[in-house]
Amino acid sequence: MTIHRLFSKDPNDEEENVTQNIYVFRFILFCIIVYSFEMLLNSVDIFIVDKTIFTRGYVTGCLFAAVYVLILLHLGLEHPLTKYVSITAVSLIIMAASVSLTYHMIIIIMMPIIIAGMYTSKQLSIYTFVLTVLSSIISTYAGYYYGVCDANMVLLTTTSMNHLVENGTFLLNQVNENPGVTLALYYVLPRCLMAMSFVYVSNIVNQVIRKSLKNAMKMEEKAATDEMTGLYNKNKLLATIEKRTYDYQQVAIVYWDINRLKYVNDTYGHFAGDQMIVKVAQSIRIALGDAGMAFRYGGDEMLALIPGGTGETAEKMIKTWKQTLAAVQVDCEIPISAAVGYAIGEHEKLKNVIAEADRNMYACKHAGRNSTEK
C-alpha cells in the first residue's frame, strides 16, 4: 500500500505531511536517477571526474537512499518521524555527492532547506538548518581532502582571472598552508550565512503560498456551500460523485423532504418557510457531526452521505436527528417535520443509492409524515 501511494498519480489528496513525504521520496528518486546518468557519462569520459572519487560518492549516496527507503517502508507515510527521516536522507545524499563533486554541488547544497519549507513544522525547519550547517562543514573539509580538487580552496584565489595571469602564466602558486582556518572562514561561514538567507526566504515564500492556498480553499468551500443553510450544495454532491472519493466503500444515504413547506410559504410567507429549512438543516448538521457530509439537494430536500455507513448507523443518526429537531424548534410557532428515508450501497453506484433513498423517503411521506423508511 505504501509503495502504491508513493507512485500514485496525484498525492495531493493525502493528509498533511503525507503529501510532502511522498514528494520528498520522488525528489530523492529523481536525484538518484540524475546521479546515475552522470555516473554513466563519467564512465565514458564525458563528465570528467576522477572515477574513483565519483564512484565513492555515488555508492555512498545510493546506500543512504536504500536505507531511507527501508526506514520509510517500516515507518509508513503517516508516522511523525517520517518527515525527519526524509529530510535527513536528502541532506545525507547531497552531502555524499558534495564531498566527491565539491564545486559541482554548490547550487543544490541548500535544497534540504527548500524542501523543509513544504512542511509547516518550525521544529523541522530548525532541524534542517542545523543539518545543513553540519553538512556544509563536513562536505567542505571532506571535499577538500577527498573530493574533486577545488583550485580556489587549495590556492586561496580571491580575485578575478585577469589579476592572476600574466603572459599566460598563473601567478599564484602557493598552496594553502592553513586549510583548517581558511576553509572555515572563507567557505563554511559564507555557506552557513547563505543557509540562513535560504531559511528566511523559503519561510516567506511558503507562507505566501499557504495563505494563497488557504484563500483559494475558502473560496472553493464558499462556492460549494448553500448560503442559507450552511450545508453543501448540489454542485458539491455532483462533484463528490464524479470524483469517486469513497470508491470501494459502502455508504449510507439519508434523504429528507420537509413537510408542508409550500403550505407554510403560502400561508405565513417565504421567510417562515426559509426558517423551516434552516431549522431542519441545523438539526441534520448537529445529528450528523463528523460522521459524513450533509447537502441541500433541492429547495426542501436534503441528504447526508455517511462513508462506511450501515443500516444501524443510518437509523441511529435519524433517531438523533428527530431528538435534535425537537430541540431546535422549541420556540417555533409553526411545527416542523420532515419525511426521511435511507439506503445503503456501494459508492460506485451512488446515484442509484440516492435514488433508492429518495424512493424510501417518499414511501415514508405517504405512510405518515413522521415515520422512517429504509
CB burial string 190-203: b at 16+ within 10 A, e below? ebbebbeebbeebe
Does this model's pTM top 0.75? no
Query: SS3 for 263?
Result: helix
Picking from 14, 62, 12, the residue whose alpha carbon sits closest to that of residue 39 is 62
Within 13 Å, how many C-alpha atoms sit on residue 104's CB side? 19
Do residues 295 and 251 touch, judged by C-beta distance below 8 A? no
- Over residues 145-159, mean pLDDT: 84
Q: Which residues contact 57 (CB under 8 A, 6 or more apart)?
A: 96, 97, 99, 100, 101, 147
CA-to-CA distance for 110 and 94, rounded, in angstroms?
9
**What are the cell numbers at 230?**
450552511
291 pLDDT more than 50: yes
Angle at 266 between CA 282 and CA 231, to 5 degrees: 20
- What type of residue sits at position 281? A
Q: Given CATH 3.30.70.3270, say whether it is the number of domain 234-373.
A: no
**What are the cell numbers at 291?**
460522521
The residue that leads in pLDDT, 116 or 106, is: 116
- Over residues 114-123, mean pLDDT: 86
The secondary structure of residue 102, as a DSSP letter, is G
- Over residues 238-244, mean pLDDT: 80
The residue that leads in pLDDT, 198 or 323, is: 323
Where along the chain do its domains lie? 2-162+175-219, 234-373
CA-to-CA distance for 305 and 223, rounded, in angstroms?
19
Query: SS3 for 280?
Result: helix
CA-to-CA distance for 330 and 335, rounded, in angstroms?
9
347 pLDDT more than 80: no
Question: What's the confidence (pLDDT) of residue 368?
Answer: 65
Question: What's the confidence (pLDDT) of residue 57?
Answer: 93
CA-to-CA distance for 83 and 169, rounded, in angstroms?
52
pLDDT digits (tens, 9 = 90+) for 18-57: 888 998 999 999 999 999 999 999 898 888 888 999 999 9
Do residues 292 and 310 touch, judged by C-beta distance below 8 A? no
Sign of dihedral through CA atoms 277, 278, 284, 288? positive
Burial class (CB in 10 A: 0-12, 13-18, 19+), 335: exposed
Other beta carbons less than 10 A from residue 173's beta carbon: 7
Question: What's the confidence (pLDDT) of residue 193?
Answer: 85
Tell how far CA 11 is from the center of its chain.
7
- Over residues 121-138, mean pLDDT: 92
58 pLDDT more than 90: yes
